[in-house]
């Protein structure tokens, strides 16, 4: 497993308050509360000039339990102000839990939240909540109508596997629709519900989509993307100029995958394109520590924004000791690649406002074993962008077609394993003498028909001297035309988080790491090449990152 299950209970710890919150490894510019456990981002939305983020939160401890919907607001998604919890167990239909959900803006500019409650019989049911006072610009209080739950599991649904409603969309027939995740035996599926008034809902006979052998589908997301351009689309858009994205979080494996395809509203069906692998080996937003993600349409800037949860890779008892667990990744803009086969992702441009003093490198040749330190830089809290040139592509090693699992391949071919073209990239959160580092790198192989296969890895095997920490190697393939021999990498480095974006956001990997030597001012940043063929740093820019106001 990449992360611990979001509903794994530690009864002895879930209400254990930290005597003192430890700051070592706390992030500086990623979203997290001052203390305690967080998980799924819920119902992100833009409303009347304010960004709202709700999230699953334990007010009493740093493991999962006692979950409420914490609430923070922002004008830029970088600086955040906390408010009181918006939703918490208070009614018979959610007395045992207020779990994940989504927000929809109804006609008349009225927000509504749909969420999963756990009732007195421990059934997962779907509920709605409205702002108590629409004139309150911060939407601080939410009320739950007494006609909840609006949806209960019928006889064909396992009521303990029935959760996480999506943002609703309005069909051309005037009916509202949203999806709920579930499973039937080992088949994951999303059930489609319809309503005329957002109060009375009925289930469409067949699931909108399902896939065999994938297990429970948590935290589904379903939205349109434009065939051209980087702008986002409101969730109800459905015309000839769009495709649709269906994302699901796999409870079995604790990672997510998505497909790109077509939505046939009149048939209540979603059909993935033939280029979208529709199982756990399919496309992923992020090939690292990233789960329970949620998108929303940003009306203010006409873009679709993605939030994801990055859990700790540390031990549960250490989470209790340090007094906190979990972060949200940097918000990302998402749009459809020109190929139409996958999404691109990039940190929102607002993050650049945190950039401080900078350092630049140009035209640096990294021969076999080459290593250059990027300095002066606050390497524990930095943003780095680098573009590499590969002059001798014809000398790439042959790619074995049996290498179908990129994470397994990265585990076998880490940063210390010499190749032909690669590994080359960055050593982040590195100690001075390289006892510790988290490497983010590429390898290039020669495929069939003179095409090249690009592998991107984040190797955590040497990220910490502590033996008990989970230190996997993450990896994903990069669908990239290397005709010009150029490939780019961006990494956001934040004490215990390294978010990396390969080839302009085609492949993304988030890692959570806990160095013992490479902390704060003792962290270093290097560019390296451990391939036999030289690569050139065309340009590298790195910035110290300032700390925003977060909660």
Active-site amino acid positions? 40
3-class secondary-structure state, position 353: helix
Question: Residue 32: CB partners within 8 Å, gap ≥ 6?
Answer: 26, 38, 324, 326, 327, 328, 550, 551
Q: Where are the beta strands (DSSP E) in 311-354?
A: 324-325, 327-328, 332-336, 343-347
Where is 408: in which H helix or E strand? helix 406-412
Task: Say if residues 529 and 369 touch (Cβ distance below 8 Å).
Answer: yes
448 to each of 220, 275, 397, 410, 500, how far by Cα in Å? 36, 18, 12, 21, 28
C-alpha radius of gyration, the chain, whole number: 23
Task: Say if residues 381 and 535 touch (Cβ distance below 8 Å).
Answer: no
Q: How far is CA 179 from the centre of its chain?
A: 20
Rounded CA-CA distance 80/96 in Å is 29
Task: Say if residues 501 and 448 touch (Cβ distance below 8 Å).
Answer: no
Q: Cis ω on the peptide bond leading into residue 137 (within 30° of 0)?
A: no
C-alpha angle 503-506-512 in degrees, rounded to nearest 5:
90
Task: Say if residues 528 and 426 touch (Cβ distance below 8 Å).
Answer: yes
Task: Say if residues 278 and 270 touch (Cβ distance below 8 Å).
Answer: no
């Amino acid at each position: 497993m990449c992360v611990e299950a979001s509903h794994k209970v530690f009864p002895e710890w879930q209400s254990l308050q930290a005597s003192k919150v430890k700051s070592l490894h706390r992030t500086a510019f990623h979203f997290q509360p001052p203390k305690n456990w967080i998980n799924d981002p819920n119902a992100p939305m833009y409303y009347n000039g304010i960004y709202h983020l709700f999230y699953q939160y334990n007010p009493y401890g740093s493991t999962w339990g006692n979950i409420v919907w914490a609430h923070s607001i922002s004008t830029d998604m970088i600086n955040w102000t906390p408010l009181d919890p918006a939703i918490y167990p208070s009614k018979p239909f959610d007395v045992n839990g207020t779990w994940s959900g989504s927000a929809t803006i109804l006609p008349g500019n009225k927000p509504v939240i749909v969420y999963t409650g756990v009732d007195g019989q421990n059934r997962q049911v779907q509920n709605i909540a409205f702002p108590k006072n629409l004139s309150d610009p911060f939407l601080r209080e939410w009320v739950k109508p007494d006609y909840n739950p609006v949806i209960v599991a019928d006889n064909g649904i396992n009521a303990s596997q029935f959760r996480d409603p999506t943002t609703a969309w309005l069909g051309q027939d005037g009916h509202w629709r949203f999806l709920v995740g579930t499973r039937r035996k080992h088949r994951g599926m999303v059930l489609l519900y319809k309503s005329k008034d957002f109060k009375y809902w009925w289930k469409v006979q067949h699931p909108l989509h399902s896939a065999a052998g994938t297990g429970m589908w948590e935290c589904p997301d379903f939205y349109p993307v434009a065939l051209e351009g980087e702008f986002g689309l409101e969730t109800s858009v459905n015309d000839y100029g769009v495709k649709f994205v269906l994302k699901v979080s796999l409870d079995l494996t604790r990672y997510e995958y998505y497909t790109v395809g077509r939505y046939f509203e009149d048939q209540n069906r979603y059909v993935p394109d033939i280029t979208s692998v529709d199982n756990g080996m399919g496309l992923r937003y992020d090939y690292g520590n990233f789960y329970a993600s949620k998108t929303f349409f940003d009306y203010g800037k006409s873009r679709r924004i993605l939030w994801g949860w990055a859990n700790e890779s540390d031990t549960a008892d250490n989470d209790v000791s340090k007094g906190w667990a979990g972060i949200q990744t940097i918000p990302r803009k998402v749009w459809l690649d020109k190929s139409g086969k996958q999404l691109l992702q990039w940190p929102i441009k607002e993050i650049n406002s945190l950039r401080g003093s900078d350092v630049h490198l140009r035209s640096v040749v990294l021969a076999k074993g080459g290593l250059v330190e990027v300095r002066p830089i606050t390497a524990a809290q930095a943003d780095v962008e680098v573009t590499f040139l590969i002059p001798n592509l014809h000398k790439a090693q042959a790619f074995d077609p049996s290498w179908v699992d990129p994470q397994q391949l990265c585990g076998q071919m880490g940063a210390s394993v010499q190749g032909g073209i690669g590994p080359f990239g960055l050593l982040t959160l590195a100690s001075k003498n390289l006892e510790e580092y988290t490497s983010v790198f590429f390898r290039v192989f020669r495929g069939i028909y003179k095409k090249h296969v690009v592998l991107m890895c984040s190797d955590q095997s040497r990220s910490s001297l502590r033996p008990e920490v989970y230190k996997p190697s993450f990896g994903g393939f990069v669908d990239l035309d290397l005709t010009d021999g150029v490939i780019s990498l961006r990494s956001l480095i934040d004490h215990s988080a390294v978010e990396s974006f390969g080839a302009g956001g085609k492949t993304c990997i988030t890692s959570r790491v806990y160095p013992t030597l490479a902390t704060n001012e003792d962290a270093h940043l290097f560019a390296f090449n451990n391939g036999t063929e030289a690569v050139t740093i065309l340009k590298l820019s790195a910035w110290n990152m300032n700390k925003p106001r977060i909660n």
